A and B are shown apart, each in its own frame.
Chain A
Amino acid sequence: MSNTTKVNLADLPLEKKKRKYYLIPTYIAVIFYLLFLGFPFLWMFSISLKSPYELLQLNPSLIPDGFYWQNYIDIIEKRGLINSAKNSFVIALLTAALTTVFTVPAAYAIARLRKVFSGIATGWILVSQVFPVSLIIIPLFMAVRRIGLLDTIWGLVLVYLVASLPFALWMLKGYVSSIPLDLEEAGAMDGASSFQILRRIVFPLLVPGIVATALFTFLNSWNEFFFALVLIQSPENETLPLTLARFMGSEGQVLLGPLAAGAFLATIPSLVIFGIMQRKLASGLLAGAVKG
């Protein structure tokens, strides 16, 4: 373990001082970038608190005239948002967990396979991505129905799992490949078994990749609309995107207040999940390295 020492700016050589000053525009850029990213979220929250009449104003303001909580009451009490959010959460979590379970060993195997097998496997993954959803939706629908999973949460999990696996595998394979083989060889020379090498060397280094893959899968499942639209029939099994879509009418009509309220609430769980997991994204990056 290394000791950390406080660094005084005056003690730094000129090069390092310059580097510190160069950071100022970087921070300014980051602040602007954050504002750029955060503003739509703030705007959405503002809209969610506006009355139907205020939403018809020509020059809308960021700060609402009043707090029109009815939008939230409507979507929670009358449109079943909580139930849809629960369904989405369960589906996204199960999909992310199962994808991770299947992808980690598969990605390791593909990355460490001899080149020819690895090429075939990755080629197959790419081929599976070229079919448009509209082409496969009806056969998929029939297949899900035949196995008795139509209009069930498990049916959707299965479809999302199958849809997520190729890209997740592709993503994780890249992470595995980036782990130097020397580390595994060093472990082997020290007498570690294959399982120990995987558990003690590869897995800790793979944590950021696993977290990134799981987050990617979770968010994709959380936001997915079309498969859910087709495979879910009962209101009690609806997912969040389906519930939110019901605030939009034809010819561009939108129930803006309730839609913004729903979208605002829908964003929170994914932000929380990301907040919890993002530390893991970085933590594994420095865990272990080849001493040079």
Chain B
Amino acid sequence: MKKSKLFAVVAAFAMTASLAVTIPARAAGIEMTYLTPAYLKGTVASTERIVADWNKANPNATVKIVYGDVNNMQDKLTTAFAGNVAPDIFQHEAASILEFSKQGYLADLSKEMAPLKSSIPAGLWAVGSYKNKLYGAPTMTQTYTVFANVDAFKKAGVKIPTGTNTFTWDDYRELAKKFTTDGKYGVAWGLRSPAAMTMIMGMNYNAQFFRGLTTSAGPTLSVNKPELEVPTRIWDMIYTDKSIDPAALSMSGAGPVPGFLAGKYAMIFAASYVAADLDVAAKAAGFNWTALPLLKGVTNKQGANPQTLSVSKQSKYPKQAAAFIRYMLQDANLSELALGEGLIPSTKGSLKSALATKKDSAGWTQILDDGEALALAPFTLVPKYQKWKDTVLQPAMQQYLQGKISVTELKKRLVDGFKAIR
């Protein structure tokens, strides 16, 4: 190699190495880190606006945003806690923080959040708690609902169901059959990951799944008629009525939206966050959508698994971190964040604020009203739930809904799978 070439290589290497040296940020007073999985454009903008306002008002206790990947939050937090480098504040989902609460990684927020307790539904408060101590302040949550193409209903001369606690699974099944004509399916239902939906919607039929939550032996899993009601009803719609598009079985929750917007389906079943996409289409092309009342089995209750804000016990500034969470939960802030995600805010004030913002949208009004039906689901109190859900429930439900295993086999797999979880 010529000398000039050798010099160029060495120089490039030196330059690269010098670029790698980072200068640590300095801030006056204290600086707290806030790990958030926010990723939607609106939510990111709202988070940054709220944090900037906080930092302006609290120059001695500023917050630095750290964006996390929602699909890897558990890994990130597990290693951060183990390495004693956890963020001061973080957003996660209630069912997933339970393990951290149990392991003593989270600060008790009961006292700090006491002023907000009366404005948060008891079910949501309970989900963020462990042994009567609040470890995750509930911020926003989703429901699963049926979205309807208003124009398709009008064209078919079908009345859009209204009224709380009146729209039953049987009504839904009939509607789906009615719209299944001329090679079209009445409903599309993205069932690629049906586990969470199964657990949450199971509450419609008082499905408990887990029993003996407070016993010393730990919870046990039993799968009986109430627990199998939702899966078997979906199966019937797919294979007996043929009113659910089988193509949607491999789609994500929001996967059927393009077909819905194109008029391929009169209804889709999805989580409430889909409303954010529907808003885009309504604004761009005047798409006329609404959300139907929550489905009712024995009840219209759905299991709540809200997003929560927690403070790490490793934080040197727990009081300031809790104060920041209270700031995030202020009505205007929480309302803005929740609407950006297409979720329902947890406090009464923020819900009122969100309703005022969306008063012209029937669909949004329905979704925001649905928050009242959310209740504490036993699965959120089971530490092994997350592992069971990912490794047992998800694949077993996928196979059942794809017609590969029977309901008896599904039941066996769920029960045996839970017993095998360590």
Binding site for B on A (CB under 8 A): 51-53, 56-59, 74, 78, 86, 90-91, 93-94, 97, 137-138, 141-142, 145, 150-154, 157, 226, 229-230, 233-237, 242, 245-253, 255, 258
Contact = CB atoms under 8 A, between A and B. Distances in A.
Contacts of A153: 20-22
Contact of B70 (A51, A58, A90, A249): A249
Contact of A251 (B44, B82, B193): B193
B253 A253 contact: yes
A235 B66 contact: yes
A90 B13 CA distance: 9
4 cross-chain pairs, A with B, having the tightest CB-CB distances, nearest first: A252-B252, A58-B262, A53-B284, A245-B69
Contact of A141 (B39, B41, B82, B280): B82
B72 A90 contact: no
B16 A141 contact: no
A235 B22 CA distance: 12
Contacts, number: 121
Give the residue among B33, B39, B65, B285 with the most A Cβ atoms within 10 A.
B39
A252 B85 contact: no
Contact of A94 (B20, B72, B273): B20
B237 interface: no
Contacts of A255: 39-41
A233 B80 contact: yes
Interface in B28-42: 33, 37, 39-41
A234 B68 CA distance: 10
Interface of B: 13, 16-17, 19-22, 25, 33, 37, 39-41, 44, 65-72, 75-76, 78-80, 82-85, 87, 190, 192-193, 196, 251-255, 257-259, 261-262, 264, 271, 273, 277, 280-281, 284-285
A287 to B, nearest CB: 14
Contacts of A157: 20
A138 B82 contact: yes
Contacts of A59: 262
B39 A248 contact: yes
Nearest to B17: A94
25 contacts: A56-B261, A58-B262, A78-B44, A90-B16, A91-B20, A94-B17, A138-B78, A138-B79, A138-B82, A150-B83, A150-B85, A157-B20, A229-B69, A229-B72, A229-B75, A230-B76, A233-B33, A234-B66, A235-B66, A235-B67, A236-B25, A249-B37, A249-B39, A251-B253, A251-B271
Contact of A245 (B25, B71, B84, B271): B71
A85 B40 CA distance: 21
B70 A86 contact: no
Contact of A233 (B85, B190, B277): B85
